[in-house]
Structure 1
């Protein structure tokens, strides 16, 4: 029974993650696919660059919400049937929603990098550590204006914050915190290359750039 619930939950979480808000908002309201412009990424940063700050904030909120929602399926619908395996269900649902965001079924398996969706996941699983990670992100971003550098720094420090500052004792959740760091570094590998060569674009929160390429 638990295995069947896990499979169903994984599929539902993946389908939730596959809703690419950046793509649909661009197509419906602006008649643009953000993946055709800028960094070609279906995420918050590229949405701000291509469509503007307001749609970018909406994308951030929706992508964060779907990460939280997918993991919360366990709390809302599956327990108490999954109580004995709760942490495994939470991590499985988290992996599924992030997989859906990066490889969305509805939009050609070409999605975002998973930062906002992972924020929602962290909100559901590690709420105490989220504020610290967000604080790190904001400090680095405000100092450098590099979203990629801020995301990478916050992700790399996250396991240390969770384990050593907030005292995470669950081995599975410790491993997942490390996974988050590694995953964000991998999805930002091209950004790392551009940062090292001084070619990474800084983010301006002003007006969108028309015809960004």
Structure 2
């Protein structure tokens, strides 16, 4: 019964649409009506500004971490903490508080990894920042980090780097999270191909997206 309750809590925690609520409460703006229409970190930064973006990013990140740590806090055994983290990501992506809409799962997935393997998250963050600096696109950086995660779970255990051994469940969860992130960026991928994707105001823009 406790496991079931904590799974529900994980979903509800992940489902909290921080960007949507911050926009409505403090800025009188519905993020669905602006920019990409997404309620995640990137659109929050773009529409509501740096302070709101940082606040939403931290909340979305830490709700993934908190969900992953819930079974440890309540001394629950017999089920991996990663399951709770995955449920939180699904809550974030399909939020009951937002007509089952949601963000693109990047920050919350990062929070799950932070709660289970901080060094692996550091590797993904490094990939994210390098791609961001070279191509000036948060979307492409997120996709690259997702792909890097899949590569990491396949290669790192064999060379005893960051991941000391193959963990089947960790590998499956990381693969699922990566696929969710990539699929949720379908529209971004189309814009990248058309050279019309939104850019951050720094970096080399190596793919030559058209600046707006």
TM over 0.5: yes
Contact 1:45–1:203 (CA under 8 A) maintained in structure 2 = no
1-side partners of 2:63 and 2:79: how far apart?
A: 19
SS at match of 2:11: helix
Which residue does the alignment assign to 2:130?
A: 139
1-side partners of 2:177 and 2:98: how far apart?
A: 24
Contact 1:129–1:162 (CA under 8 A) maintained in structure 2 = no
Q: Detail structure 1 runs of 4+ shifted over 2 Å in the superposition.
A: 159-168
Equivalent in 34, 39, 43 of residue 37 of structure 1: 34
2-side partners of 1:204 and 1:109: how far apart?
A: 32
1:1-213 matches, within 5 Å, as 4-77=1-74, 79=75, 81-82=76-77, 85-87=78-80, 90-165=81-156, 166-167=162-163, 168-204=165-201
How many residues align? The count is: 196
SS at match of 1:58: helix
- How far did residue 163 of structure 1 move? 4.3
Which residue does the alignment assign to 2:205?
A: none
Structure 2 unaligned blocks of 5 or more: 157-161, 203-212
Contact 1:115–1:184 (CA under 8 A) maintained in structure 2 = yes
Post-superposition Cα deviations, 1:159-211, rounded to whole Å, max 9, x if no partner, equal: 32244232342111111121122111111111111111112111238xxxxxx
Contact 1:64–1:117 (CA under 8 A) maintained in structure 2 = yes
TM-score by length of 1: 0.87
TM-score by length of 2: 0.87
2-side partners of 1:160 and 1:75: how far apart?
A: 28
Structure 1 unaligned blocks of 5 or more: 206-213
